Amino acid sequence: MYLASFETTYDFALAHTDDEVRAWVSDTLLQTTETWLVADAGATLGFIALGPETIEQLYVAPGSTGRGIGSSLLALGQARRSRGLSLWTFQVNIGARRFYERHGFRVAEMTDGAGNEERQPDVRYVWP
């Protein structure tokens, strides 16, 4: 679901192969974050991965956006990290940026992308 969502959202490639991403999700992301998912009939529709004060990942499956899944996952993250959260997203992801801003996140920093593996300009959001 993560790979499909990324591919649908961006016109640039991930910095890693699909197999490397799958291994990272399994061996790192799921082992080091508090991860919640929404599923229906065995299909993952969305997930959020929380660090101590961060949203490490929040993705909704292609075809499942606009149904409140992302909002529900974000509300869960805000409730579980009520002292505050931060996250990064790519600047070109206008949909995600509008989504986070609607939910009270504010721009804290914008970069040229030199600090991420895809080398894409990004933006850091903070809440509250």
pLDDT at 118: 97
Distance CA 37, CA 35 (A): 7
Q: Each residue of 76-119: pLDDT tens digit?
A: 999 999 999 999 999 999 999 999 999 999 999 999 999 999 99
Distances (CA, A) of 96 to 17, 31, 51, 99, 114: 24, 25, 19, 5, 21
What mean pLDDT, rounded, does the chain reach?
A: 96
> For residue 24, what pLDDT band results from cuts at 50, 70 and 90?
very high
Band of pLDDT at residue 75, cut at 50, 70 and 90 = very high
Say whether 47 sits in a helix, a strand or coil: strand
Rounded CA gap, 33 and 124, in Å?
Answer: 19
Any idea what the CATH number is for the domain that residue 69 is in? 3.40.630.30
CA distance 2 to 12: 15
Could you give the number of structural domains in the chain? 1
What is residue 121's three-state secondary structure?
coil
Domain range enclosing 33: 2-127
